[in-house]
Amino acid sequence: MDPLLETYLKKAERYLGQISISDRVVILSEIRSQIIGSQSETPELSLKSVLLSLGTPEALAKRCLFERGLKPGKPVGRLTLKRVAIFVVGFFAILFMAISILISKVTPLISIDNEKERVYLLGGLIDIAAGPDSFNIDPQGAVLAISKQVGSGAVDVEGRTIQVLFTSANIKMSPSRDNMFRWRCEFSTNGVLPPMQGRVENNAYLMDWSEFKNMTCKIEVPESKIALKGVSGNLRISSPQEEISIHLKNGHIKIAPDPEKNYIYNLSMGRGFVDKFTSSKESSVIEISVTMENGTILRD
């Protein structure tokens, strides 16, 4: 549809006011037919000239309503993005003020305990300790102490397959500089720090990080096979030198192949997107295997 005609019809529709849908459809259809008919009868006239001959959208809408015995109502306003934003901001501002006033009537908003080096907000609902990267939240009397920790290490796996178990993690993986398996991770705990060192199990070196929360890790992998298994993960793999096996329920994986290596890819995805990876037909290849239910596998 011509933009000029579309604009004209939208304006006419506004001036039809609040009438039934059936009446609205019939009137707009007749207006459109009238315009198209005028163009056919007088092809020498431009669309702009035809619209001017019909009058303004408001005048034409009122004339159509009068012919059907309908009373013209107020134009239907437009719910603009600006109006929606003003309404949302105003609503939450009033709600926040009401909650703040209610809490301030019952308990002080901020209290400081210099001896214990703690700050209490909202009557103890939030309890902030002086230690770095730590805080306590006390919902309905239950205290949860959450702190940010860092763990790192290095070990000679002696050619064993490395197995890494995790719940939720962001992991960047690259080749080892000295053929040692190295890791440096940041994570959250509830005050009880599980062991981060691995152990030899069934001739594999097992790193069980499933109890750690919100992990962000950088690991360096020696010339050993590695298998990663988790629930949710964001993995970035650079220049893999040995076989990699990944099992994820949900996640995003980026793979940057080493241009001097040959790979064969076995990528299985339930729902999501898998980028184009071309497997080598050479006899000596490195296998990259991924099984995932939901997510993306991209070429980095």
The per-residue pLDDT for range 170-209, each reduced to its tens digit, is 999 999 989 999 999 888 765 556 667 788 988 899 999 8
pTM of the model: 0.52
17 in Cβ contact with 1 (< 8 Å): no
Q: How far apart are CA 118 and CA 66, in angstroms?
A: 75
248 in Cβ contact with 295 (< 8 Å): yes
- Domain range summary for the chain, segments of one domain joined by +: 3-67, 83-145, 147-299
181 in Cβ contact with 155 (< 8 Å): yes
Q: How far apart are CA 198 and CA 156, in angstroms?
A: 11
Please report, in tens digits, the pLDDT of each residue of the chain (300 residues total). 688 888 888 888 888 877 777 777 778 877 887 777 777 777 777 888 878 877 888 888 888 777 777 766 555 554 445 565 676 777 777 877 776 666 555 555 555 555 554 555 555 555 554 444 444 444 444 444 455 778 888 999 999 999 999 988 899 999 998 999 999 988 876 555 666 778 898 889 999 988 887 789 999 999 999 999 998 888 999 999 999 999 998 888 999 999 999 999 999 998 888 999 999 999 899 999 999 988 889 998
209-251: pLDDT as tens digits: 888 877 899 999 999 999 999 988 889 999 999 999 999 988 8
Bridging pattern class, strands 286-299 and 244-256 = parallel
DSSP state, 261? S
Helix (H) or strand (E) segment spanning residue 285:
none
